[in-house]
Amino acid sequence: MKLLRWGPIGQEKPAIMDAQGIARDLSGLVPDIAGPVLSDTGLEMLRGLDAASLPRIPDGARMGPCVGQTGKVICIGLNYSDHAAETGAPVPLEPITFMKATSALCGPNDPIIVPRGSEKTDWEVELAIIVGTTARYVPESDALSFIAGYAVANDVSERAWQMEHSGQWTKGKSSDNFGQVGPWLVTRDEVPDPQALRLWLSVNDVRMQDGSTSTMVYGAAFLISYLSRFFTLHPGDIIMTGTPPGVGLGMKPPQFLKPGDVVELGITGLGQQRQDVIADDRP
């Protein structure tokens, strides 16, 4: 089952894809793709609907982040062995964990906004885990059952702010539109093995990243179990699980995004994104 959200920024409505791949409006049936809707009970209720009988969403409607009311975005750094190698960093003995501000989240085709003063805005295709059930001290053997589904994410990063300034990585990860998530939340029953997915990303039609979740150092089940030891995971929380090699920082010489570029990315079975890169000209 594929769930999505559509409409203007801050006014997104819930929707579901029918068997023919047509997006159907869920307004009036559920308040959002969030909270109890993400539980096994909520998802089972949605599966029982006759989706084809629901109104179609308007053609060309904007797609928002595929999950709403996200309380926190937890990111995992250097979680691909081949990505760690390209950056010259050792494979971490435990997951490197940092937060991305929820205000960075946006729709899958919303632009990447290069912040004022940025010279090193970079791309990162990632598998996003969407938490469906409150998780606390979860054993790894049960961890996947706490997941509502998975989505494509672009963990956009400003490398100078992330790595060349003192302090934590958060400030290099949290600018507006540094977190495209979607187009859909694909429920976990349609992803039998989250460690067998191909990820790719292109800039201006040139393939930069082409990897597999099979090279993740710490997989989805481990991450749910590990993170739930330190803080409670709530429905709608997003875990961005790291990126394969091919980021701009790892190139020789490094290559970063500039206004006018076009970024496209996707994950097998989870859909694709497309983003124009623009300058931040807001007051």
Q: What is the DSSP string of 67-91?
A: S-S---EEEEES-BHHHHHHHTPPP
Structure tokens at 180: 């495209």
Per-residue pLDDT of the chain (283 residues; tens, 9 = 90+): 999 999 999 999 999 999 999 999 999 899 999 999 999 999 999 999 999 999 999 999 999 999 999 999 999 998 998 777 777 778 889 999 999 999 999 999 999 999 999 999 999 999 999 999 999 999 999 999 999 999 999 999 999 999 888 777 899 999 999 999 999 999 999 999 999 999 999 999 999 999 999 999 999 999 999 999 999 999 999 999 999 999 999 999 999 999 999 999 999 999 999 999 999 999 8
Among candidate residues 54, 205, 215, 63, the one with its CA nearest the CA of residue 127: 215
**Rounded Cα gap, residues 74 and 101, in angstroms:** 9
- Write down the pLDDT at residue 85: 72
Q: Is residue 44 part of a domain?
A: no
Overall number of domains in the chain: 1
| Residue 194 domain-assigned (yes or no) | yes
Q: What is the CATH number of the domain that holds 229?
A: 3.90.850.10
Going by the DSSP 8-state scheme, the letter that residue 42 receives in this structure is H
Tell me whether residue 38 is in a domain: no
Q: Which of 194, 198, 180 is nearest to 150 (CA)?
A: 194
Q: Residue 248 domain-assigned? A: yes
DSSP state letters, 102-146: GGGEE-TTSPEEEPTT-S-EE--EEEEEEE-S-BSS--GGGGGGG
d(CA 80, CA 247): 12
**pLDDT at residue 57, rounded to an integer:** 97
Q: Alpha carbon of 134 to those of 68, 79, 119, 146: distances in Å?
A: 16, 24, 39, 7
Report residue 73 CA to chain centroid gap. 9
48: in domain: no
Q: Are 257 and 193 in contact (CB under 8 A)?
A: no
Q: Looking at the domain assignment, is residue 250 inside a domain?
A: yes
Residue 6 lies in a domain: no
pTM greater than 0.85 (yes/no): yes
* pLDDT of res. 167: 74
What pLDDT score was predicted for residue 82?
A: 76
Please give the pLDDT value at position 75.
Answer: 98
Domain with 220 in it: 65-279
CA atoms of 261 and 206, how far apart (whole Å): 11
